Amino acid sequence: MASIGEIVQMKTAALTLMATRGEDQELVAQAALTYAPAADSDSDSDSVDRRKPRIIPSFGWHPWFSHQIIDDINSETRNDPPCSKAEHYKGVLTPPTKDEGLLHALPDLYPLSKLIADTRARLRQHPHGLVGEIGLDRSFRIPNAWLPHELEKRDASLTPGSREGRSLSPHRVALAHQRQIFKAQLRLAGSMQRPVSVHCVQAHGAVLEVLQELWSGHERKRVSNRQRRKRRLSADKAHENEQSDHEKDKEHEDDPQTAVTASRPFPPRICMHSYSGPPDVLRQFLHESNPADTYFSFSSVINFAGGSSEKTVEVIKALPEDRILVESDLHCAGNRMDELMEAIVRQISGLPPSKIPRWDLEQLFLERLPFHLYEYFWLLLRITVFGNLSKRQVVLFLSTATNKQRRSCPVFNPNPSGEQ
């Protein structure tokens, strides 16, 4: 969080700031309040950007910290006598540990019921807030306990709770435990109809299984091409009268009778962040019967690093154009994050035109926002997908864009300096 003050100097229009563990939930909430749009903003063009959230907060527990949660909600465990800290960790870590030093050094337990209650309260305080970063990870191992000399050299400016260069133990968190924590947070997102950001490493089948369990009984009926065309033609008209998600939530909270019909056991929109899965899984995520819309985001630091870029290109080729998002996946705000945002847009738009989607730019810009074009591109993909803007706010910008602005946009011109 040391770089949070640099947000105001950034070119990127808005940031989705993810919480991951107990130490950073409130920090994310405070950052969102600090950079909230001015309440007295008028309608002048110079203040349009101040009415939009600079930070979109996201609250949730990352799978890397799921072992710290004790499940006191699910029927199989809630009536059992409370177990000790050591008993809990021996039960959720695999292989089970006998290292008393590690067991003693692990954090105190955090009840799942409190996690859900605290997250619900923060989401109510932040009507644009998301649930995340949550998910499943088969690969990660928990770090070993701090050694005395490591503690002496620890960087005090870093938010506590992360690995910070410690060596890794041989222990992972049992996938069954991860699933329970993941599913509980998905249910919370569904009850408040908030989108989620999902971390998934070597567990795409398991993520799909959890989602399909929650989707069961809510599947969409298959529609004909004719019905689909009719829906598309009427979509703009429907959005004119559409309330925002948080307005609906507030109404439903006040009216218990409508709350039952509004709330569902799954989130309305899902972002598979820095998607690392294979192309052949995409059709299961995108199946027309799925009652939630799934999107896939990509970042330079994860998806275009080393040998992963070739697989990423294949995934992007296979995706529908309206399901692609971009992100920095960086923990520090400032110039480097801006550079990564521009880089990922260039990397995606620079792929062979015949093999990737070429977005209809008339749908990619917001009126009178004083940002460069690649930031319009990112803002619309990142925020409209998450329901903070209505389609009515998407307007034709091209008629007012100068040739210089067009040349500076990577989507128009992936090689603005003339490189081949």
pLDDT one-digit tens code per residue, 348-391: 776 544 444 444 333 333 333 333 333 444 444 444 343 443 33
Give the pLDDT of residue 76.
65
Written as one string, the DSSP assignment of 32-76 is HHHTPPPTT--S-GGGTGGGS-SEEEEE---GGGGGGEE--SSTT
Nearest Cα to Cα of residue 144 among 170, 174, 167, 173: 167
Can you tell me which residue has the tokens 């998407």?
394
Give CA–CA dist 400/403, Å, rounded. 10
How far lies 8's CA from each of 22, 79, 154, 285, in Å? 26, 49, 28, 36
Nearest Cα to Cα of residue 11 among 416, 390, 376: 376
How far lies 130's CA from each of 26, 50, 134, 159, 196, in Å? 14, 20, 11, 21, 6
Phi, psi of 293 (to 5 degrees): -95, 130
Give the pLDDT of residue 10.
79
CA terminus-to-terminus distance, the chain: 39
* Contacting residues for 190 by C-beta, under 8 A, at least 6 apart: 214, 263, 264, 265, 266, 267, 268
Q: What is the pTM of this model?
A: 0.75
Give CA–CA dist 85/106, Å, rounded. 9
Give the pLDDT of residue 182.
98
Count of other CB atoms within 10 angstroms of residue 43: 7
Is residue 102 within a helix (H) or strand (E), and if so which, with residue range? helix 100-105
Going from the N-terminus, what domains does the chain have, and what CATH number goes with each? 4-147+167-239+268-361 (3.20.20.140)
Instruction: Specify which residues 58 forms β-bridges with.
Output: 18, 130
Give the pLDDT of residue 77.
58
Give CA–CA dist 42/40, Å, rounded. 6
CA 53 from centroid of its chain's CA atoms: 16
Give CA–CA dist 377/394, Å, rounded. 11
Give CA–CA dist 327/14, Å, rounded. 11
Can you tell me which residue has the tokens 């093999």?
355
Per-residue pLDDT of 28-78, as tens digits, reads: 999 899 887 655 444 444 443 445 667 889 999 999 999 999 999 985 656
Can you tell me which residue has the tokens 């009840």?
111
Give the pLDDT of residue 233.
63
Tokens representing residue 407 in the block: 């040349």
Give CA–CA dist 40/50, Å, rounded. 10
Give the pLDDT of residue 75.
59
CB-count burial class (<10 Å; 0-12, 13-18, 19+) for 131: buried
Nearest Cα to Cα of residue 213 among 276, 291, 297: 291
Nearest Cα to Cα of residue 56 among 12, 116, 22, 2: 12
CA 122 from centroid of its chain's CA atoms: 16
- Asked, as a colleague might, if the bond just before 133 is cis with ω within 30 of 0, I would say yes
* Contacting residues for 157 by C-beta, under 8 A, at least 6 apart: 2
Do the Cβ atoms of 290 and 215 come closer than 8 Å? yes
Tokens representing residue 332 in the block: 């520090």
Give CA–CA dist 92/238, Å, rounded. 48
Read off the DSSP letter of residue 277.
S
Give CA–CA dist 180/157, Å, rounded. 33
Give the pLDDT of residue 221.
86
Ranges of residues in the chain with a pLDDT under 50 are 40-50, 235-236, 238-261, 352-403, 405-420
